[in-house]
Amino acid sequence: MPSESKTYVLTGGFSGIGLAILTHLLTPKHPDTPPPTIHVLDLASTPPTLPATLSTSTIHFYPSTNVTSRAGISAIFDRIFSQSPQIDGLINSAGICPPPTIGGIESDELFDRVLDVNLRGTWIVGTEFLKHVLNKDAAAAGGKTEAAGRGGVHARAAIVNIASTAAISPPPGMVAYATSKYAVLGLTKAWAKEYTPRGVRVNCVAPGGHTDASAPMGRLAAPEEIASVVGFLLEGGAGFVSGQMVVVDGGYYL
């Protein structure tokens, strides 16, 4: 039986890991599954070109969108929810990673900029998403429940934040970046504690910060491999996982 089409919001989807996530989500997993609707927000002005084999009719691009602007993101979420009243997930992949400052102290300007995009951007997009999902939750109280009959919490939506192994193993000269990603991990845990009981699972994925040679399994994960972990946490497979950080550089941290 064909399953319902899902709707996701993705930041930073015009390049790198975000683009790999977009491609992964669009790649059909089963012939009966309709393609998801994906709203892709990015600061860049030109949307990416996707492989011709993928159906792109369900993608909505929002170029020149800055995740650090509360007013801008709020207006976009109003547009998104007017088109797609049911949103199943958010992936926060937009981020910046300036080159290391070796042997010096990073400037205040750099610290503010990195924290602004990586942490505050995740906060702004996440809170706009939560506002709409939780409002809808309240409006629909007594409505359909995915966990009905099993005594659990109604599954509403999932958030996946992209952190970094820098959060737990800071590379040299990247204090601001490592701090921002440690904070993304903290935000993930706090949101999970707050909102999982209301049906919103929140996890983060930490791509590698090692050099290839020192990665525990000898190489870093490719963007496609990171994307498949994100997809697992977002889509049905991880229906009971929340508040976790998954490290994907070929190793593990305990």
Ligand X SMILES: NC(=O)c1ccc[n+]([C@@H]2O[C@H](COP(=O)([O-])OP(=O)(O)OC[C@H]3O[C@@H](n4cnc5c(N)ncnc54)[C@H](O)[C@@H]3O)[C@@H](O)[C@H]2O)c1
Catalytic residue among 62, 177, 182, 252: 177
Distance in Å, CB of 127 to ligand X, minimum? 15
Q: Which residue is nearest to ligand X (CB)?
A: 16
Give the C-alpha separation, 83 to 113, whole Å: 32
Among residues 180, 151, 6, 196, the alpha carbon closest in space to that of 92 is found at 180
Cα Dmax for the chain: 60
Selected binder of ligand X within 25, 67, 174, 248 (CB under 6 A):
67
Q: Tokens for 162, please give them.
A: 């992209």
Residue with tokens 């050099």: 211
Report the residue number, 120 or 154, with the smaller CB distance to ligand X. Answer: 120
CB 82, CB 75: distance < 8 Å: no
Spatial separation of the C-alpha atoms in residues 37 and 25, rounded to whole Å:
9
Q: Does 185 sit near ligand X (CB under 6 A)?
A: no
Binding mask 219-248 for ligand X (x = CB under 6 A): ------------------------------
- Decide whether 106 or 153 has the Cβ nearer to ligand X: 106
Tell me whether residue 195 is one of the annotated catalytic residues. no
- Total residues contacting ligand X by CB under 6 A comes to 25
d(CA 155, CA 249): 29
> Binding of ligand X at residue 164 (CB under 6 A)?
yes
Q: Which one of 6-14, 23-31, 82-90, 150-158 is the stretch in contact with ligand X (CB under 6 A)?
A: 6-14
**How far is residue 148's CA from residue 170's CA, in Å, rounded to a whole number?**
44
Helix, strand or coil, per DSSP, at residue 164: coil
Q: What residues make contact with ligand X under the rule CB under 6 A?
A: 11-12, 14-18, 42-44, 65-68, 93-97, 117, 121, 162, 164, 207, 209
Residues forming the active site: 177
